[in-house]
Structure 1
Amino acid sequence: MKKLITSTLLLFLAVQVFGQLNPVKNFQFEHWYSYGSPCPGYYCFSLDWGAPDVSVVDTLVGYNIYRDSELWRFQEYIGAGCSEEISPCPDESFFDFSETFWIKVKAVYNSALLESPALDTL
């Protein structure tokens, strides 16, 4: 019985340390209407998330942002959006006024560009 418990604990520890591609945290999307702003069609938006937990064996290289199931872009920093303070808006191609869409962000690891799972989709 002691061997079984020890083996189970060691297996669990190995999976935790060596088998994770940690996802992003606190994924949020906000949008608002701001007449007279430089936002496209006066619709401003903010896409934000927190950095994933540090992985012992994997190196975070950036983030893939998906619009529906298509990769919109890869970037090395957190967040995207258009607001009243930013003119012209560098991210205006993301927002489409004619249809609804799903958003997800995946952390990208190592030079092999391995992706974490997406825990949240908005």
Structure 2
Amino acid sequence: MTTPTHNGMNTEAHPNREDVEFRALPNPMINDASPFFRAAGAQLEAASRARTADELIQLLNSAPGACAPSAGDAFYPGCSSDYELDEFLQGWEIDYIEAPYFWKATAPDGSRIEYIEGDVRKV
């Protein structure tokens, strides 16, 4: 028996693990009253459409309420919740993960990013 995975990560404990398309995940942050969570939710929704590192960076930076990047090409603040950026990257492969705040991924076109504590950088 195989363990259900998404982007190479164990999804067995995820409440929606039966969903083939993770972009269909309910995103309560998008309707949250807090501007911070609304912005983070908008970034996740946008990120689900990215097929290249450049597209991801552009979509994260152009989402309503997005924080300006400081040490990377884009910034996603993370939310310490069940909904994190790597779960919304459709067709991407997670190449390396040390912790939820440090991982590397490859886009469907072969371009790569690194995520470190919110900073998204093309590598």
TM-score in same-fold range (> 0.5): no
- Normalised by the size of structure 1, how large is the TM-score? 0.25
Bigger strand share = 1
Q: Normalising by the residue count of structure 2, what TM-score does the alignment of the two structures yield?
A: 0.25
Which of the pair has more CA radius of gyration? 1
- Ranked by relative contact order (alpha carbons within 8 Å, sequence separation 6 or more), the top structure is 1
